[in-house]
Amino acid sequence: MKSIEELKAIRDKARAQMNIREENEDGNIRVVVGMATCGIAAGARPVLNAFVDEIAKRGLHNVFVAQTGCIGLCQFEPIVEVMVPGQEKVTYCKMTPEKAVRVVTDHIVNGQPVAEFTIGEATK
């Protein structure tokens, strides 16, 4: 760091990311990433970061990212659940950061779940 402005920029970026990870109102879209040992070992942390970064980049203020423990399907980790109010929960499995970006684009922004990433497709 070379200046107070640089420190303030770091603080503002951290605050923005924290706001994305806090729920405040009902009616918001929730993205929940399984972050138990099995999920972390399978690569859940980069997936969580990809969701946070893409949501921040797009300025989506009605989407919140949270983490949870084991979802119970360790063989399908990293697992992500997307909950849109008034719709059925969609569970995505074997997620990657690249898939996370597509889920934000297709499902969260355009309302079209990405069927080939869902738990139903993985069990066929």
Task: Pick the closest to residue 117 from 86, 76, 83, 87 (CA basis).
Answer: 76
Side-chain half-sphere CA neighbours of 28 within 13 A: 19
Is residue 31 very low, low, confident or very high in pLDDT (cuts 50, 70, 90)? very high
Whether 69 contacts 35, CB under 8 Å:
yes
List, edge to edge, every strand of the sheet that includes 63-68: 63-68, 29-34, 80-83, 90-92
Looking at the predicted structure, is the pLDDT value of residue 22 above 70? no
- If one compares 21 and 66, the residue with the highest pLDDT of the two is 66
Name residue 104's amino acid. V
Say how far residue 20 (Cα) sits from the centre of its chain. 10
Is residue 61 very low, low, confident or very high in pLDDT (cuts 50, 70, 90)? confident
Is residue 49 very low, low, confident or very high in pLDDT (cuts 50, 70, 90)? very high
For the domain made up of 4-122, give the CATH fold: Glutaredoxin (3.40.30)
